[in-house]
Amino acid sequence: MKDTRAQVFLTLSLIGLSNCSGLDNTITDPVQWWAINGWDSAVTIELYDNNCSRHLRDISFKSHEEVKVISCGDGQGRANVRFRREGYASRQDSWSRDTAVRLNQRTIVR
C-alpha cells in the first residue's frame, strides 16, 4: 500500500514539475537588464512594460541595490519600460518617461 502511494505521489510530482517553466512564457523577445535604486533609502517601485502593455513585478530595493529585470523586447533587443514609486507617494508621483533599455544595460530608477 505504501509503495502504491509513493508511486502515485511521484507520478503526480513529475507531471506537475514538467508543466513548470523557469521563464514567464508571456514575455516575448525577453531582454535582461538591471535596475539600480537611485534613492538614498530602501524603496519599492512599480514597473510597467510598454512592449507587452502590462505591469511587471514590483521591485523592492535596498539602498543603492541592483536588481535583475527581464521584460519584453521590441524585436531589436530593446525593452521599453516606465516606473514609479509604489504606495501612497505613487498616487501623487506620475510615471517616469518611457525608458528604452538594451540587453544587460544598467539603469538608475528614481
Contact between residue 109 and residue 38 where contact means Cβ atoms under 8 Å apart: yes
pLDDT band at 64 (very low <50, low <70, confident <90, very high): confident
Question: pLDDT at position 89, please?
Answer: 57
Question: pLDDT at position 19, please?
Answer: 47
Residue (of 110, 62, 107) closest to 89 by Cα position? 110
All domains of the chain in start order, with CATH: 23-109 (2.60.40)
Map residue 17 onto helix, strand or coil: helix
pLDDT band at 6 (very low <50, low <70, confident <90, very high): low
Phi, psi dihedrals of residue 17, rounded to the nearest 5°:
-70, -30
Grid cell for residue 12: 503526480
- pLDDT tens, residue by residue, 35-44: 888 888 888 8
% of the chain beyond a pLDDT of 70: 70
Q: What is the mean pLDDT of residues 1-8?
A: 65
Q: Which residues contact 27 (CB under 8 A, 6 or more apart)?
A: 52, 70, 71, 72
pTM, entire model: 0.66
Residue (of 31, 15, 26) closest to 71 by Cα position? 31
